[in-house]
């Protein structure tokens, strides 16, 4: 059975439900993506919380969880800009076996609405594949890891069956919030 994965900053974790909103997208510095998110919201009926779909590292990389270990922030002709000690973010990866009301899209074609190209009908056909059943989306996710993303309007973090975090300190903080220690793993996802 495939899992659904969602990554958020440890500071945004709560022992309860999180809900998608444009304000959160703006706060997280995703304002460049607002037009694409708005287009998707118009298609699926709600602002999206994005999920990776699959069981392997390629699928989970869609969440960006592995980026917290990146040392290089940017590269240019004059050199690299590196993160300094203490500047590394702390993200948490929540994984679920079953979620109600998930809609799906093609992750490899998601760049089309992000870049604002193509005709409306073509974007819908390439990204959302109207008429494709959930079973077909899940079959594609199983065959081609990292090719399918899901979207929900809200997510109850308490129902996660597995929680990954970057350190024992983060694990302890999650336990203090209320998450069961047997569900939490200190786990790195390679870049």
Listed by start position, the domains of the chain span: 4-186
Name the pTM for this structure: 0.89
Statement: residue 120 has pLDDT above 70: yes
Q: Which of 28, 155, 172 is nearest to 95 (CA)?
A: 155
Least confident of 10-19, 121-130, 137-146: 121-130
Three-class SS state of 2? coil
Let me know: does 176 contact 168? Beta carbons within 8 Å: no
Confidence of residue 20 (pLDDT cuts 50, 70, 90): confident
Q: Which of 12, 5, 17, 15 is nearest to 154 (CA)?
A: 17
Least confident of 22-31, 73-82, 91-100, 101-110: 22-31
Task: Return the residue matching tokens 């093609």.
Answer: 106
């Amino acid at each position: 059975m495939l899992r659904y994965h969602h990554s958020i900053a440890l500071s945004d974790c709560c022992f309860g439900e999180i809900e998608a909103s444009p304000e959160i997208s703006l706060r997280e510095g995703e304002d460049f993506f607002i037009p694409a998110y708005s287009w998707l919201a118009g298609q699926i009926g709600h602002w999206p919380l994005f999920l990776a779909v699959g069981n392997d590292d390629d699928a989970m990389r869609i969440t960006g969880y592995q980026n917290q270990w990146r040392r290089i922030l940017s590269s240019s002709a004059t050199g690299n800009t590196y993160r300094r000690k203490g500047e590394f973010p702390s993200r948490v990866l929540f994984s679920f076996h079953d979620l109600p009301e998930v809609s799906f899209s093609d992750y490899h074609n998601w760049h089309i609405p992000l870049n604002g190209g193509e005709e409306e009908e073509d974007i819908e056909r390439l990204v959302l594949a109207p008429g494709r059943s959930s079973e077909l989306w899940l079959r594609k996710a199983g065959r081609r890891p990292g090719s399918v993303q899901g979207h929900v309007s809200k997510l109850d973090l308490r129902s996660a069956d597995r929680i990954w975090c970057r350190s024992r300190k983060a694990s302890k903080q999650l336990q203090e919030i209320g998450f069961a220690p047997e569900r939490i793993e200190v786990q790195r996802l390679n870049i």
